[in-house]
Amino acid sequence: MSVTTMQEPVPAASITVTLLPIMGVVFVGFLVIGMAMPVLPLHVHDGLGLGTFVVGLVAGSQFAASLISRQWAGHVSDAHGAKRGVVIGLSAATVAGLLYLLSFVLSGSPLISVVILLAGRALLGGAESFIITAAVSWGLALVPSSNTGKVIAWIGSAMFAAFALGAPAGSALYSAYGFTAISLGTALAPLAVLPLVALLPAIAPVKHARASFVEVIGAVWVPGLGSALGSVGFGAVTTFVALLFATKGWANGWMAYTAYALAFILARVFFSHLPDRIGGARVAVVCAGIEASGQALIWLAVSPEMALAGAALTGFGFSLVYPGFGVEAVRCVPAQSRGLAMGAYTSFLDLAQGLASPTLGLIAAGSKLNTLFLVSSATVLCASLVAWRLIAKPPVMEGSPQ
Protein backbone atom coordinates (compact mmCIF):
# COMPACT_ATOMS: atom_id res chain seq x y z
CA MET A 1 0.00 0.00 0.00
CA SER A 2 1.53 3.25 -1.12
CA VAL A 3 1.58 6.22 1.22
CA THR A 4 1.53 9.80 -0.04
CA THR A 5 2.48 12.84 1.98
CA MET A 6 1.14 16.10 0.63
CA GLN A 7 3.96 18.59 0.32
CA GLU A 8 2.72 20.55 -2.69
CA PRO A 9 -0.88 21.73 -3.11
CA VAL A 10 -2.92 20.22 -5.90
CA PRO A 11 -3.68 22.80 -8.65
CA ALA A 12 -7.30 23.94 -8.64
CA ALA A 13 -7.81 22.64 -12.20
CA SER A 14 -7.15 19.07 -11.06
CA ILE A 15 -9.44 19.07 -8.03
CA THR A 16 -12.16 17.17 -9.86
CA VAL A 17 -9.78 14.42 -10.98
CA THR A 18 -8.27 14.23 -7.50
CA LEU A 19 -11.60 13.85 -5.73
CA LEU A 20 -13.34 11.62 -8.27
CA PRO A 21 -12.11 8.23 -6.93
CA ILE A 22 -13.08 9.17 -3.37
CA MET A 23 -16.46 10.36 -4.61
CA GLY A 24 -16.90 6.97 -6.30
CA VAL A 25 -16.23 5.16 -3.04
CA VAL A 26 -18.69 7.39 -1.19
CA PHE A 27 -21.27 6.86 -3.94
CA VAL A 28 -21.20 3.08 -3.61
CA GLY A 29 -21.02 3.20 0.17
CA PHE A 30 -24.15 5.34 0.37
CA LEU A 31 -26.04 3.60 -2.42
CA VAL A 32 -27.16 0.99 0.11
CA ILE A 33 -28.54 3.72 2.36
CA GLY A 34 -30.39 5.25 -0.58
CA MET A 35 -31.92 1.91 -1.51
CA ALA A 36 -33.39 1.51 1.96
CA MET A 37 -34.74 5.06 2.33
CA PRO A 38 -38.10 4.68 0.54
CA VAL A 39 -38.72 1.06 1.60
CA LEU A 40 -37.73 0.89 5.27
CA PRO A 41 -40.70 2.99 6.43
CA LEU A 42 -43.03 0.83 4.33
CA HIS A 43 -41.42 -2.39 5.55
CA VAL A 44 -41.71 -1.40 9.21
CA HIS A 45 -45.17 0.18 8.92
CA ASP A 46 -46.87 -2.18 6.46
CA GLY A 47 -44.72 -5.32 6.51
CA LEU A 48 -44.23 -5.56 10.28
CA GLY A 49 -47.43 -3.71 11.21
CA LEU A 50 -45.73 -1.20 13.53
CA GLY A 51 -46.59 2.49 14.06
CA THR A 52 -45.07 5.76 12.94
CA PHE A 53 -43.11 6.16 16.18
CA VAL A 54 -41.30 2.89 15.51
CA VAL A 55 -40.72 4.03 11.92
CA GLY A 56 -39.03 7.14 13.28
CA LEU A 57 -37.12 5.08 15.85
CA VAL A 58 -35.75 2.73 13.18
CA ALA A 59 -34.71 5.69 11.03
CA GLY A 60 -33.27 7.61 13.98
CA SER A 61 -31.23 4.69 15.29
CA GLN A 62 -28.83 5.02 12.36
CA PHE A 63 -28.18 8.67 13.16
CA ALA A 64 -27.81 7.95 16.87
CA ALA A 65 -25.16 5.33 16.12
CA SER A 66 -23.42 7.75 13.77
CA LEU A 67 -23.35 10.31 16.58
CA ILE A 68 -21.71 7.86 18.98
CA SER A 69 -19.10 6.78 16.44
CA ARG A 70 -18.11 10.19 15.03
CA GLN A 71 -15.34 10.81 17.55
CA TRP A 72 -13.88 7.36 16.89
CA ALA A 73 -14.14 7.85 13.13
CA GLY A 74 -12.41 11.23 13.31
CA HIS A 75 -9.66 9.90 15.56
CA VAL A 76 -8.97 6.94 13.26
CA SER A 77 -8.81 9.24 10.23
CA ASP A 78 -6.41 11.68 11.91
CA ALA A 79 -4.19 9.16 13.69
CA HIS A 80 -4.14 6.20 11.29
CA GLY A 81 -5.15 7.64 7.94
CA ALA A 82 -8.45 8.19 6.18
CA LYS A 83 -8.06 5.08 4.03
CA ARG A 84 -8.32 2.82 7.07
CA GLY A 85 -11.44 4.66 8.19
CA VAL A 86 -13.12 4.06 4.83
CA VAL A 87 -12.27 0.34 4.90
CA ILE A 88 -13.72 -0.01 8.41
CA GLY A 89 -16.91 1.73 7.28
CA LEU A 90 -17.42 -0.42 4.20
CA SER A 91 -16.84 -3.61 6.19
CA ALA A 92 -19.36 -2.58 8.84
CA ALA A 93 -21.95 -1.83 6.14
CA THR A 94 -21.66 -5.40 4.87
CA VAL A 95 -22.35 -6.80 8.34
CA ALA A 96 -25.35 -4.44 8.64
CA GLY A 97 -26.78 -5.96 5.46
CA LEU A 98 -26.49 -9.43 6.97
CA LEU A 99 -28.42 -8.23 10.04
CA TYR A 100 -31.10 -6.83 7.70
CA LEU A 101 -31.39 -10.29 6.18
CA LEU A 102 -31.68 -11.99 9.58
CA SER A 103 -34.35 -9.47 10.57
CA PHE A 104 -36.37 -10.33 7.48
CA VAL A 105 -36.09 -14.07 8.15
CA LEU A 106 -37.63 -13.44 11.58
CA SER A 107 -40.34 -11.05 10.34
CA GLY A 108 -43.00 -13.47 11.59
CA SER A 109 -42.11 -12.14 15.06
CA PRO A 110 -42.33 -8.37 14.52
CA LEU A 111 -40.79 -7.32 17.83
CA ILE A 112 -37.77 -9.60 17.47
CA SER A 113 -37.44 -8.61 13.83
CA VAL A 114 -37.46 -4.89 14.54
CA VAL A 115 -34.90 -5.25 17.34
CA ILE A 116 -32.49 -6.97 14.93
CA LEU A 117 -33.33 -4.36 12.30
CA LEU A 118 -32.47 -1.66 14.83
CA ALA A 119 -29.11 -3.34 15.40
CA GLY A 120 -28.48 -3.40 11.66
CA ARG A 121 -29.45 0.24 11.33
CA ALA A 122 -27.16 1.13 14.24
CA LEU A 123 -24.23 -0.69 12.66
CA LEU A 124 -24.96 0.99 9.32
CA GLY A 125 -24.92 4.31 11.15
CA GLY A 126 -21.42 3.58 12.39
CA ALA A 127 -20.42 2.56 8.87
CA GLU A 128 -21.81 5.79 7.43
CA SER A 129 -19.90 7.75 10.06
CA PHE A 130 -16.58 6.18 9.13
CA ILE A 131 -17.12 6.39 5.37
CA ILE A 132 -18.12 10.05 5.16
CA THR A 133 -15.85 11.36 7.93
CA ALA A 134 -12.79 9.59 6.51
CA ALA A 135 -13.66 10.48 2.91
CA VAL A 136 -13.97 14.20 3.65
CA SER A 137 -10.75 14.11 5.69
CA TRP A 138 -9.08 12.34 2.75
CA GLY A 139 -10.30 15.00 0.34
CA LEU A 140 -9.23 17.87 2.58
CA ALA A 141 -5.72 16.40 2.74
CA LEU A 142 -5.49 16.19 -1.05
CA VAL A 143 -6.49 19.71 -2.12
CA PRO A 144 -5.59 23.28 -1.08
CA SER A 145 -7.33 24.58 2.03
CA SER A 146 -8.90 27.38 -0.02
CA ASN A 147 -11.23 24.73 -1.48
CA THR A 148 -12.59 23.39 1.81
CA GLY A 149 -16.20 24.16 0.92
CA LYS A 150 -15.84 22.55 -2.49
CA VAL A 151 -14.44 19.34 -0.99
CA ILE A 152 -17.29 19.07 1.49
CA ALA A 153 -19.85 19.90 -1.21
CA TRP A 154 -18.55 17.55 -3.90
CA ILE A 155 -18.07 14.54 -1.67
CA GLY A 156 -21.51 15.22 -0.25
CA SER A 157 -22.83 15.35 -3.82
CA ALA A 158 -21.60 11.80 -4.37
CA MET A 159 -23.54 10.80 -1.28
CA PHE A 160 -26.75 12.36 -2.54
CA ALA A 161 -26.23 11.04 -6.06
CA ALA A 162 -26.31 7.64 -4.39
CA PHE A 163 -29.59 8.62 -2.73
CA ALA A 164 -31.01 9.79 -6.07
CA LEU A 165 -30.28 6.51 -7.82
CA GLY A 166 -30.69 4.34 -4.76
CA ALA A 167 -34.28 5.42 -4.10
CA PRO A 168 -35.80 4.19 -7.39
CA ALA A 169 -33.48 1.17 -7.42
CA GLY A 170 -34.53 0.25 -3.89
CA SER A 171 -38.21 0.72 -4.69
CA ALA A 172 -37.90 -1.47 -7.79
CA LEU A 173 -36.01 -4.18 -5.90
CA TYR A 174 -38.49 -4.09 -3.02
CA SER A 175 -41.48 -4.35 -5.36
CA ALA A 176 -39.97 -7.23 -7.32
CA TYR A 177 -38.11 -9.24 -4.67
CA GLY A 178 -39.03 -7.80 -1.28
CA PHE A 179 -36.81 -6.81 1.61
CA THR A 180 -34.45 -9.71 0.90
CA ALA A 181 -33.08 -7.85 -2.12
CA ILE A 182 -32.44 -4.72 -0.05
CA SER A 183 -30.62 -6.81 2.54
CA LEU A 184 -28.40 -8.55 0.01
CA GLY A 185 -27.66 -5.28 -1.79
CA THR A 186 -26.63 -3.69 1.51
CA ALA A 187 -24.26 -6.58 2.22
CA LEU A 188 -22.70 -6.96 -1.24
CA ALA A 189 -22.28 -3.42 -2.61
CA PRO A 190 -19.65 -2.34 -0.02
CA LEU A 191 -17.63 -5.47 -0.76
CA ALA A 192 -17.58 -4.56 -4.46
CA VAL A 193 -15.91 -1.20 -3.82
CA LEU A 194 -13.14 -2.45 -1.51
CA PRO A 195 -10.80 -3.27 -4.44
CA LEU A 196 -11.05 0.36 -5.61
CA VAL A 197 -10.11 1.57 -2.14
CA ALA A 198 -7.10 -0.76 -2.12
CA LEU A 199 -5.79 0.93 -5.29
CA LEU A 200 -6.01 4.47 -3.92
CA PRO A 201 -2.99 6.09 -2.22
CA ALA A 202 -3.11 6.44 1.55
CA ILE A 203 -2.37 9.79 3.17
CA ALA A 204 0.16 9.68 5.99
CA PRO A 205 -1.28 11.29 9.15
CA VAL A 206 0.26 14.60 10.21
CA LYS A 207 2.61 14.01 13.14
CA HIS A 208 1.69 16.93 15.36
CA ALA A 209 -0.19 17.34 18.60
CA ARG A 210 -3.90 17.22 17.97
CA ALA A 211 -6.67 19.13 19.65
CA SER A 212 -8.81 17.17 22.07
CA PHE A 213 -12.38 16.32 21.18
CA VAL A 214 -13.61 18.73 23.85
CA GLU A 215 -11.56 21.57 22.31
CA VAL A 216 -12.87 20.78 18.85
CA ILE A 217 -16.48 20.64 20.06
CA GLY A 218 -15.95 24.03 21.67
CA ALA A 219 -14.75 25.43 18.37
CA VAL A 220 -17.42 23.98 16.10
CA TRP A 221 -20.56 23.91 18.24
CA VAL A 222 -22.12 27.05 16.75
CA PRO A 223 -21.84 25.97 13.10
CA GLY A 224 -22.70 22.45 14.25
CA LEU A 225 -25.93 23.73 15.79
CA GLY A 226 -26.79 25.52 12.56
CA SER A 227 -26.19 22.36 10.54
CA ALA A 228 -28.27 20.33 13.00
CA LEU A 229 -31.26 22.66 12.70
CA GLY A 230 -30.92 22.76 8.93
CA SER A 231 -30.79 18.96 8.71
CA VAL A 232 -34.28 18.49 10.14
CA GLY A 233 -35.79 19.13 6.71
CA PHE A 234 -33.56 16.42 5.27
CA GLY A 235 -34.76 13.98 7.94
CA ALA A 236 -38.39 14.85 7.38
CA VAL A 237 -38.13 14.10 3.66
CA THR A 238 -36.07 10.92 3.91
CA THR A 239 -38.15 9.38 6.72
CA PHE A 240 -41.72 10.46 6.10
CA VAL A 241 -42.34 11.69 2.56
CA ALA A 242 -42.94 8.15 1.23
CA LEU A 243 -45.59 7.65 3.93
CA LEU A 244 -47.15 11.01 3.02
CA PHE A 245 -47.49 9.90 -0.60
CA ALA A 246 -48.94 6.54 0.46
CA THR A 247 -51.39 8.15 2.91
CA LYS A 248 -52.68 10.55 0.26
CA GLY A 249 -52.92 7.81 -2.35
CA TRP A 250 -50.22 9.31 -4.57
CA ALA A 251 -48.11 6.88 -6.58
CA ASN A 252 -44.33 6.80 -6.94
CA GLY A 253 -43.35 8.24 -3.58
CA TRP A 254 -39.72 7.44 -4.40
CA MET A 255 -39.79 10.36 -6.86
CA ALA A 256 -39.68 12.76 -3.91
CA TYR A 257 -36.31 11.34 -2.86
CA THR A 258 -35.02 11.67 -6.39
CA ALA A 259 -36.36 15.24 -6.75
CA TYR A 260 -34.67 16.12 -3.47
CA ALA A 261 -31.34 14.55 -4.43
CA LEU A 262 -31.24 15.90 -7.99
CA ALA A 263 -31.93 19.47 -6.81
CA PHE A 264 -29.29 18.95 -4.13
CA ILE A 265 -26.71 17.86 -6.70
CA LEU A 266 -27.53 20.64 -9.18
CA ALA A 267 -27.11 23.26 -6.47
CA ARG A 268 -23.71 21.88 -5.59
CA VAL A 269 -22.58 21.61 -9.21
CA PHE A 270 -23.34 25.27 -9.92
CA PHE A 271 -22.92 26.93 -6.52
CA SER A 272 -20.44 24.85 -4.47
CA HIS A 273 -17.82 27.60 -4.86
CA LEU A 274 -19.91 30.15 -2.97
CA PRO A 275 -19.07 29.16 0.65
CA ASP A 276 -15.34 29.53 -0.12
CA ARG A 277 -15.84 32.74 -2.08
CA ILE A 278 -18.34 34.76 -0.02
CA GLY A 279 -18.38 32.92 3.31
CA GLY A 280 -20.18 29.84 4.54
CA ALA A 281 -22.46 31.61 6.98
CA ARG A 282 -23.73 34.04 4.32
CA VAL A 283 -24.61 31.14 2.06
CA ALA A 284 -26.30 29.28 4.93
CA VAL A 285 -28.57 32.24 5.72
CA VAL A 286 -30.11 32.18 2.25
CA CYS A 287 -30.16 28.42 1.74
CA ALA A 288 -31.81 27.67 5.08
CA GLY A 289 -34.64 29.97 4.02
CA ILE A 290 -35.01 28.09 0.73
CA GLU A 291 -35.06 24.76 2.54
CA ALA A 292 -37.70 26.00 5.00
CA SER A 293 -39.90 27.16 2.13
CA GLY A 294 -39.66 23.68 0.60
CA GLN A 295 -40.84 22.08 3.83
CA ALA A 296 -43.73 24.53 4.02
CA LEU A 297 -44.72 23.63 0.46
CA ILE A 298 -44.88 19.92 1.37
CA TRP A 299 -47.04 20.84 4.37
CA LEU A 300 -49.45 22.70 2.09
CA ALA A 301 -49.31 20.16 -0.77
CA VAL A 302 -52.64 19.18 -2.30
CA SER A 303 -51.06 17.33 -5.22
CA PRO A 304 -47.99 15.16 -5.74
CA GLU A 305 -46.51 17.85 -7.95
CA MET A 306 -46.56 20.34 -5.06
CA ALA A 307 -44.91 17.80 -2.77
CA LEU A 308 -42.24 17.05 -5.37
CA ALA A 309 -41.55 20.77 -5.78
CA GLY A 310 -41.26 21.07 -1.99
CA ALA A 311 -38.83 18.16 -1.86
CA ALA A 312 -36.74 19.76 -4.61
CA LEU A 313 -36.62 23.12 -2.79
CA THR A 314 -35.67 21.31 0.41
CA GLY A 315 -32.81 19.57 -1.37
CA PHE A 316 -31.63 22.74 -3.11
CA GLY A 317 -31.57 24.65 0.17
CA PHE A 318 -29.94 22.00 2.33
CA SER A 319 -27.33 21.34 -0.35
CA LEU A 320 -25.31 24.37 0.72
CA VAL A 321 -26.41 24.61 4.35
CA TYR A 322 -24.13 21.73 5.30
CA PRO A 323 -20.94 22.89 3.48
CA GLY A 324 -21.72 26.49 4.40
CA PHE A 325 -21.61 25.77 8.10
CA GLY A 326 -18.85 23.20 7.46
CA VAL A 327 -16.49 25.86 6.11
CA GLU A 328 -17.02 27.85 9.32
CA ALA A 329 -16.27 24.72 11.38
CA VAL A 330 -13.14 23.45 9.60
CA ARG A 331 -11.38 26.81 9.48
CA CYS A 332 -11.33 26.89 13.29
CA VAL A 333 -9.02 23.88 13.71
CA PRO A 334 -5.44 23.04 12.65
CA ALA A 335 -4.85 20.69 9.71
CA GLN A 336 -3.92 17.69 11.87
CA SER A 337 -7.35 17.77 13.53
CA ARG A 338 -9.56 18.15 10.48
CA GLY A 339 -10.86 14.59 10.66
CA LEU A 340 -11.86 15.08 14.28
CA ALA A 341 -13.38 18.45 13.39
CA MET A 342 -15.53 16.90 10.66
CA GLY A 343 -16.52 14.13 13.05
CA ALA A 344 -17.48 16.63 15.74
CA TYR A 345 -19.27 18.90 13.29
CA THR A 346 -21.25 16.09 11.72
CA SER A 347 -22.15 14.68 15.13
CA PHE A 348 -24.50 17.63 15.58
CA LEU A 349 -26.33 16.53 12.45
CA ASP A 350 -26.50 12.97 13.81
CA LEU A 351 -27.88 14.22 17.13
CA ALA A 352 -30.53 16.21 15.32
CA GLN A 353 -31.57 13.26 13.18
CA GLY A 354 -31.55 10.84 16.12
CA LEU A 355 -33.89 13.12 18.04
CA ALA A 356 -35.90 14.64 15.19
CA SER A 357 -37.04 11.47 13.43
CA PRO A 358 -38.80 9.92 16.47
CA THR A 359 -40.11 13.36 17.52
CA LEU A 360 -41.57 14.04 14.10
CA GLY A 361 -43.03 10.53 14.19
CA LEU A 362 -44.82 11.36 17.45
CA ILE A 363 -46.14 14.59 15.92
CA ALA A 364 -47.42 12.63 12.95
CA ALA A 365 -49.06 10.05 15.22
CA GLY A 366 -50.92 12.76 17.14
CA SER A 367 -52.06 14.84 14.15
CA LYS A 368 -52.19 14.80 10.37
CA LEU A 369 -49.01 13.49 8.80
CA ASN A 370 -48.30 16.70 6.89
CA THR A 371 -48.14 18.70 10.16
CA LEU A 372 -44.63 17.43 10.82
CA PHE A 373 -43.41 19.31 7.73
CA LEU A 374 -44.69 22.58 9.21
CA VAL A 375 -42.73 21.88 12.41
CA SER A 376 -39.69 21.02 10.32
CA SER A 377 -40.00 24.26 8.34
CA ALA A 378 -40.00 26.35 11.51
CA THR A 379 -37.00 24.44 12.86
CA VAL A 380 -34.98 24.94 9.67
CA LEU A 381 -35.66 28.67 9.78
CA CYS A 382 -33.80 28.78 13.10
CA ALA A 383 -30.65 27.74 11.22
CA SER A 384 -30.73 31.15 9.53
CA LEU A 385 -30.53 32.78 12.96
CA VAL A 386 -27.44 30.72 13.78
CA ALA A 387 -25.88 31.78 10.47
CA TRP A 388 -26.48 35.44 11.34
CA ARG A 389 -24.76 34.78 14.69
CA LEU A 390 -21.72 33.39 12.85
CA ILE A 391 -21.58 36.40 10.55
CA ALA A 392 -21.57 38.72 13.54
CA LYS A 393 -19.11 36.67 15.64
CA PRO A 394 -17.19 33.89 13.87
CA PRO A 395 -15.94 31.14 16.24
CA VAL A 396 -12.15 30.75 16.58
CA MET A 397 -10.37 28.00 18.50
CA GLU A 398 -7.34 29.20 20.46
CA GLY A 399 -4.13 28.26 18.74
CA SER A 400 -5.69 27.53 15.35
CA PRO A 401 -4.64 29.33 12.15
CA GLN A 402 -6.29 32.69 11.64
For residue 6, tell me if it sits in a domain.
no
For residue 10, tell me if it sits in a domain.
no
Give the bridge partners for 203, in sequence order: 4
From residue 93, alpha-carbon distances to 98, 114, 172 in Å are 9, 18, 21
For residue 398, tell me if it sits in a domain.
no
The domain that contains 297 carries what CATH number? 1.20.1250.20
The domain total for the chain is: 1
For residue 269, tell me if it sits in a domain.
yes
Cα separation, 124 vs 131, in Å, equals: 10
Residue 208 dihedral angles phi and psi, to the nearest 5°: -140, 160
Residue 279 dihedral angles phi and psi, to the nearest 5°: 110, 130
What is the C-alpha radius of gyration for the chain, rounded to an integer number of angstroms? 20
Per-residue pLDDT tens, the chain, 402 aa: give them. Answer: 444 444 344 454 477 777 888 888 899 888 888 888 778 888 888 878 787 778 878 877 776 777 777 777 777 777 777 888 889 999 999 999 999 999 888 888 888 988 999 999 889 888 888 898 888 888 877 777 667 777 877 887 787 778 768 878 888 888 888 888 999 999 999 998 888 888 887 776 665 555 566 667 777 778 888 888 988 888 888 778 878 888 888 887 778 888 888 888 888 888 877 887 888 888 989 999 999 999 999 999 888 889 999 999 999 999 888 888 888 887 766 656 666 777 777 777 767 766 777 787 777 776 677 788 898 899 999 998 988 888 877 655 544 444
User: By residue range, what is the domain housing residue 244?
Assistant: 17-392
For residue 78, tell me if it sits in a domain.
yes
For residue 1, tell me if it sits in a domain.
no
CB neighbour list of residue 295: distance below 8 Å, 6 or more residues apart: 233, 236, 310, 314, 373, 374, 376, 377, 380
Please count the other Cβ atoms lying within 10 Å of the Cβ belonging to residue 266.
15
For residue 208, tell me if it sits in a domain.
yes
For residue 2, tell me if it sits in a domain.
no
